[in-house]
Structure 1
Amino acid sequence: MSQPLDEKTRAIISATVPALKAHGTAITTEMYKRLLSTPAIRDLFNLSHQQDGEQPKALALAVLCYAEHINNLGALGGMVERIAEKHVGLNILPEHYPYVAEALLGAIGHVLGDAATPEIADAWGKAYWFLADILIGREKQIYEEHEGAPGGWAGWRAFRVRSRREETSTIASFELVPVDGGTLFRHKAGQYLSFKLDVPGHDSQRRNYSISSTPGVDHYRISVRRQEGGVVSTWLHDTVQVGDVLQVANPAGDFFLDETSESPVVFLTAGVGLTPVISMLGDLVQASPNRKIHYVYGSDTAALAAFRAEVEELASRGVLAADFFYAKERAPAESPGANTHAGRVTTTWLRENIDRSATYYICGPDSFMRDMVDALRAEHLSAKQIRYEFFGSAADPDLVLSAA
């Protein structure tokens, strides 16, 4: 167990906050440059987030949050859990942590120069290993829970593509079954799978994709949007077919449906952010048919609204209420059992239709999530009623810190 940080160390870390605000991204960019020079470490990362700068920015915000809360680390519990789950999905192990320590401390010295005194280097070394020990301990627990559960496994497991379906012109679904013919770990609705993929011409790649299938079925399903210039999404869409084998880690993630609650549920999503919610919806319909559900979804057009027919069928039977928003349709066609709207989901509409007794599950582009979360907070909903998931590298410090 990590020993508590002493007062002097915490004081030095707190004193570096201004430097982190000024140079945080430069430090983490240099850190990743050092880390990625080691092939065994480079293969653990989603390199697309290096190219667009999202990963260094996200890490800089996380480091800043850590420094700002060094005297109240309890506030970081949610962020630590999220990092641990992400690490487990990527099969990060204790032996990887020294590489990160060397790269981070080296980057601090490189960027801050003479300002990075031996005292500062020593304090950040202690602070890093304090947090690392917490993460290593929590990750060990998760690995053991997975491996010991029915159908669970450690490391990577081979899955075969049993079927694929084009949901829209931009989203394809892949059903995956284990090559070994064994049972499946029952995921929590809303969790994701991590993949180790060998993409020709791009070496080994790591990606996370939300599970869109209902827990308890005999397969996992992922629904992937083709991203312009996206190495892996393009490869999946253009190349991966029935019978192909992919390497998959045990389901992970801290964004999942609270099955113990009986409160109404509002799913508030946009774009491909619907994927974890579709799993939640299937779980609710199956296990809690009397629970009040409101499905709110935004896309550019009806043709781009994945799983629309399934939601419309549920709406037509009165299983749920549904509102579809189409940003690029001036007069959207009527939808069986559902309401259709021209334009995007707005905060005005959200406030006018708020259910103060509901739990909101939000997933979509960062700007969409920020608008929705801010609107719900302004209406004084509790933190437990506002749950959301990040796609890609989260780069909003408040969303990162307060995600439930």
Structure 2
Amino acid sequence: MMTTAQKELVKATVPVLKEAGVILTSHFYKRMFSHNPELKHIFNMGNQQNNKQQTALAMAVLAYAEHIENPAVLLPVIDSIGQKHTSLDIRPEHYQIVGKHLIAAISEVLGEAATPDLLDAWTAAYIQLAGIMSGHESTLYQAQTAKQGGWTGWRPFIVKQKVQESTEITSFYLYPADGGPVADFTPGQYLSVRLFLPEINLLQPRQYSLSAAPNGKYYRISVKKERGSQHPDGMISNRLHDFIKEGDLIDVSAPAGSFVLQPESKQVVFISGGVGQTPLISMLESLIQSGSQQPITWIHGCRNREVHAFQQQLQQWTTQHEHISQHLFYDQHEGDAAVNTGYVDLEKIADTVVQPDTRYYICGPAVFIRKHYQFLTEKGVNRADIHLEEFGPASLQLN
């Protein structure tokens, strides 16, 4: 239990965290991977290269310090991180390793300012946070195993089908190698896939949204090929495209994620950019299968028709169901009157988009999400009705 004095010491470090948080977290990761290189098989090393993970951790540590009096206000963030951790098979013993290196990093970065009392305060704060996190993750693990076909950790799946959806995106149909059922999931969730990357001699996990409604037999992920990329993120996606064949085995973790379809009585607007449509496809298909008749608006932007995945499926759904409409935006002009030219611009369709009693789901790059979130809030949309999914470690603090 933290004392009042310890909480005050942690809060006193907030200005330092705002100024040098990324320096601290960068030093922490470098230190941890130097002393515990086995953790490189768990962490996304691509996000180490682009500083996304360092930035995300710095933001999380800052938020925790700012709310040290009442960490309960961070529960939505804790759930999101916990979902990611369970998908990576993070266990309580990992928190002990992280804690040791985090406190050491604080001491080494702050130097003389890291007094024994301050280090004791941050040790108590970390123990508190680790208890909250691992306790929540234990609940998530228990919920996974309670499901029919559920599991924790890594389970081998067979790639039974590879289907090209566009010039860039291919779908992978994954069936459990043990022949058992697959656990249900909530539309919008993702899987972690783990492959060995010979280029860097590491096992590496990556998250891919489930792109089909739950069916109890298989999972589908739809992956964008990162042409010309030598970045570790691109290496995983490209290895799936170029080296994983039908019949191959890959390791998969149970579905996770907090960006999920809500029980709907409202009309729905889906807004996606590029491969960001994948979790929204799962949500839309699930709504159709449920027989929902609430108005649904599908808004999607990509470069051109060649890279536009699932266009035939979407056209079929909008033709068959009068309550579903779609608005497409292509960066490159197609000469098609049914397609808008340029980036997604909600102002062009504001009368359709901004409606009362509507829920919004936005998925894509951070700049895409920020733009449309700002548009909706400026139009008076309730923030609680806007749900977001940013690919990669969270860098947005909007809700």
TM-score, normalised by the number of residues in structure 1? 0.93
2:258 to 254, 257, 260: 254
1:242 aligns with 246
After superposing the two structures, state which structure 1 stretch, 16-25 or 65-74, moved more: 65-74
Question: 1:272-351 to 2 correspondence within 5 Å?
Answer: 272-317=275-320, 318-329=322-333, 331-334=334-337, 339-349=338-348, 351=350
**Structure 1 residues 270, 196: closer, same or farther in 2, change over 3 A?**
same
Question: 1:352-371 to 2 correspondence within 5 Å?
Answer: 352-353=351-352, 354-371=354-371
**Aligned residues of 1:143 and 1:154 also touching (Cα < 8 A):** yes
**Structure 1 residues 350, 53: closer, same or farther in 2, change over 3 A?**
farther
**Aligned residues of 2:183 and 2:216 also touching (Cα < 8 A):** no
3-state DSSP of counterpart to 1:36: helix
Note the C-alpha offset of 1:146.
Answer: 0.6
Task: Kindly report the root-mean-square deviation, in angstroms, between the aligned alpha carbons of the 2 structures.
Answer: 1.4
After superposing the two structures, state which structure 1 stretch, 213-222 or 136-145, moved more: 213-222
Unmatched 5+ stretches in structure 1? none
3-state DSSP of counterpart to 2:360: strand
Hey, what's the Cα distance between the residues in 2 that align with 1:188 and 1:66? Answer: 28
2:375 aligns with 375
Question: 1:23-62 to 2 correspondence within 5 Å?
Answer: 23-37=20-34, 38-62=36-60
Query: Deviation per CA, 1:313-338, whole angstroms, max 9, x where unpaired?
Result: 11122241100000122x4424xxxx
Note the C-alpha offset of 1:373.
Answer: 1.1
Note the C-alpha offset of 1:142.
Answer: 0.8
Note the C-alpha offset of 1:72.
Answer: 3.6
1:127 to 82, 105, 125: 125
**Aligned residues of 2:181 and 2:216 also touching (Cα < 8 A):** no
Letter in 2 for 1:184: V
3-state DSSP of counterpart to 1:372: helix
2:65 aligns with 67
Note the C-alpha offset of 1:297.
Answer: 0.3
Hey, what's the Cα distance between the residues in 1 that align with 2:63 and 2:138? Answer: 24
Letter in 2 for 1:344: Y
Note the C-alpha offset of 1:352.
Answer: 4.3
**Aligned residues of 2:103 and 2:122 also touching (Cα < 8 A):** yes
Letter in 1 for 2:342: G
Hey, what's the Cα distance between the residues in 1 that align with 2:225 and 2:83? Answer: 25
Letter in 1 for 2:238: T
Hey, what's the Cα distance between the residues in 1 that align with 2:188 and 2:241? Answer: 23
Hey, what's the Cα distance between the residues in 1 that align with 2:73 and 2:126? Answer: 17
**Structure 1 residues 113, 352: closer, same or farther in 2, change over 3 A?**
farther
Note the C-alpha offset of 1:73.
Answer: 2.3
3-state DSSP of counterpart to 1:214: coil
Hey, what's the Cα distance between the residues in 2 that align with 1:368 and 1:52? Answer: 19
Letter in 1 for 2:213: T
**Structure 1 residues 351, 119: closer, same or farther in 2, change over 3 A?**
farther
Note the C-alpha offset of 1:226.
Answer: 1.4
TM-score, normalised by the number of residues in structure 2? 0.95
1:79 aligns with 77
**Structure 1 residues 322, 65: closer, same or farther in 2, change over 3 A?**
same
**Aligned residues of 2:174 and 2:218 also touching (Cα < 8 A):** yes
1:271 to 268, 271, 274: 274
Q: Percent identity?
A: 38
Hey, what's the Cα distance between the residues in 2 that align with 1:165 and 1:352? Answer: 37
Note the C-alpha offset of 1:288.
Answer: 3.2
3-state DSSP of counterpart to 1:237: helix
Hey, what's the Cα distance between the residues in 1 that align with 2:182 and 2:93? Answer: 28
Hey, what's the Cα distance between the residues in 1 that align with 2:44 and 2:288? Answer: 34
3-state DSSP of counterpart to 1:161: strand
Report the number of matched residues: 390
